[in-house]
Amino acid sequence: MSSGFVGTRKRVPLRELVARIPDGASLTLGGSFLHRGPFAFVRELIRQNKRRLEIVKQSPGYDIDILCRAGAVEKLRAGIVAMEGNFGLAPWYRRAVELRQIKLEEHACASLTAGLRAAAFGVPFQPCAGLHGSDIPALNRWKLLEDPYGNAAPVWVIPAIRPDFAVIHASEIDELGNVRISGTYHWDRIMSRASRSVLIVAERLVSTSVFEANPESTVVPYFMVEAFSIVRNGAWPGSCWPDYAVDYPAVERYLKPGDECLADHLASGPEMRQPA
Amino acid sequence: MTTVWSGFSYIVINLARFIRPNEITFSGVNSTLPMLACLLAKRAYDGEFIYINVAGGVDPRPSHIPVSSSDPVLAEHSASIFANEDFYDLCARGRMDLTFLGAAQIDGAGCANNSVIGSWEQPKVRLPGGGGGAVMLPTAKRACTWRTEHSKRTFVEKLDFRTAWGGFYGVVTPIAVFAKQEGRLALASWHPESSLAEVRERTGFTFDANDATSTSPPTAREHEALQALDPDGHFERDANIVLR
């Protein structure tokens, strides 16, 4: 079996893209807080009633909150969790931790990145600067390693984190699966390198010649991408630069309590109004 | 009648006063007031500094001031994208001159709890978590924070959990500015409408106040810059900060 993903039949409807995720899978989700998260994909995970997921992300917010609200999460490995904007803490996530309904592996954003780097670099662990004096390493039973060359102070080493899937919301993709992101790519690049497979939801399908004209702006080359879907406004209610900003009223409506509110929110996803 | 210096203006301006010319200064997620401080410093002070932020912006010229301090508009007109791994690595290798970081609880050494109220295993309140602090606080040359509430709940003798060690260089609240002195937070100044006695009364740890005075009032340029950033008072209303 090839190490790469080839072929021109990678484009699938969102429903089929999400159907590739088995219960219990480990997913790292791109973006940060309310910005360019794969939120259409996340809502479809809930519609398909996925269970026992492990979510890996430095700064989750809406995504982990709605997945906790739907009971889809077993474990979270994260650096900082909040709704952001003016919305403060993520309420359903917070309740899930306080009621011990999910397992939390608390990181610094940089230590989670170190774990992903270890996987991406093909090594079992990765040193991470800082962390000394923090109570976090002991929580996770991380080890402090002496500098084997004797030049510097000991460093904390973070075990490799290798998610099953990196799920990224991108600006543009071609039919082969080359991926571009406008604005910052946050941690998406290292997520794609650390994971066994990459699934993309993109705003637009463009010609391969667009990529050939500026290959340096390709964040993920096609052979790392297993499959993709096109969903316009798929990062709603978050932003996707420069196409659209955060829909704050929609986030506010999402935060109202009740199953009906969640159902209304899921029904309002832009993915529901687009041909499969 | 003297002008009342609002808690919002007091925090933004005093955070901005920690920014020094020529230094690399960073503002992150969940950090509306430091974002405003960085943008204010660009307008109100003569010295140039390098402003980088969590949206990947490097000296951006945002077309408007966003509600979210990680909004991609904060990279508008940036000539490069300095993404998350880049600014963390910059800090880790000791080249971050000043970073602003959030903190829920702060102790007298300036260490931070951002993880939990109560025990970690059985939390009363689950807070956002490790975030930037655990790695940035001990590796940045200076780190500053702010609290919109000045109370013994937030300024504690002992943290419920030590998320980040290393000690803040500066802390700003609606009534006080602390700055690090010999490894401890010392009072630098108090709000003109507050007092040393009030700051002591509302702080859970002991601190030195030998050099403390009343905070210098806002300059005309600071005042104008903040007005320009928040012309209709949206940010001030959203922040909803009271002195007491």
What's A101's domain CATH number?
Answer: 3.40.1080.10
Between residues A275 and B4, the one the model is more confident about: B4
Give how many domains chain A has, as a whole number: 1
Give how many domains chain B has, as a whole number: 1
β pairing state of B184-190 and B116-118? unpaired
Task: Residue B53: give the domain boundaries.
Answer: 7-231
Is residue B236 one of the residues assigned to a domain? Answer: no
Q: Chain-wide mean pLDDT for chain B?
A: 96
- Rounded Cα distance, B80 and B70, in Å: 16
Residue type for A36, please?
A: R
Is residue B239 one of the residues assigned to a domain? Answer: no
Q: What percent of chain A has pLDDT over 70?
A: 99
| Residue A276 confidence (pLDDT) | 64
CB-based contact A135 B161, cutoff 8 Å = yes
Q: Please give the DSSP secondary-structure letter assigned to residue B226.
A: H
Burial A115-153 (b: 16+ CB within 10 A, else e): bbbbbbeeeebbbbbbbbbbbbbebbebeeeeeeeeeee
The answer, for B231 touching chain A at a CB cutoff of 8 Å, is no
Asked if pLDDT for residue B103 goes beyond 60, the answer is yes
Is residue A154 one of the residues assigned to a domain? Answer: no
Output the pTM of the full model.
Answer: 0.97
| Residue B156 confidence (pLDDT) | 98
| Residue A85 confidence (pLDDT) | 84
With contact defined as beta carbons under 8 Å apart, do B106 and B151 qualify?
no
First to last CA, chain A: 30
Is residue B242 one of the residues assigned to a domain? Answer: no
Below-70 pLDDT ranges, chain A: 1, 276
With contact defined as beta carbons under 8 Å apart, do A59 and B114 qualify?
no
| Residue B1 confidence (pLDDT) | 35
Is residue A136 one of the residues assigned to a domain? Answer: no
**Nearest-10 crossing angle of helices B7-16, B220-229:** 110
The answer, for B149 touching chain A at a CB cutoff of 8 Å, is no
Sequence-separated (6 or more) residues with CB below 8 Å from residue A218: A178, A179, A180, A211
| Residue B3 confidence (pLDDT) | 53
Q: What is the pLDDT of residues B27-53, one digit of tens each?
A: 999 999 999 999 999 999 999 999 999
Among A134, A241, A248, whose Cβ lies nearest the Cβ of B67? A248
Domain with residue B199: its CATH number is: 3.40.1080.10
Asked if pLDDT for residue B4 goes beyond 90, the answer is no
Is residue B238 one of the residues assigned to a domain? Answer: no
What is the average per-residue pLDDT within B156-180? 98
Is residue A128 one of the residues assigned to a domain? Answer: no
CB-based contact B85 A189, cutoff 8 Å = yes
Is residue A201 one of the residues assigned to a domain? Answer: yes
Is residue A135 one of the residues assigned to a domain? Answer: no
Which residues sit opposite B214 in a β-bridge?
Answer: B190
Is residue A1 one of the residues assigned to a domain? Answer: no
Say what the ipTM of the complex is: 0.96
Q: What is the pLDDT of residues A67-89, one digit of tens each?
A: 999 999 999 999 999 998 889 99
pLDDT grade for B62, boundaries at 50, 70 and 90:
very high
Is residue A129 one of the residues assigned to a domain? Answer: no
Alpha helices in B94-229 (DSSP H): 133-139, 196-201, 220-229
Residue that the structure tokens 């360019």 belong to:
A36
CB-based contact B55 A183, cutoff 8 Å = yes
Is residue B243 one of the residues assigned to a domain? Answer: no
The answer, for B195 touching chain A at a CB cutoff of 8 Å, is no
Among B126, B131, B134, whose Cβ lies nearest the Cβ of A94? B126
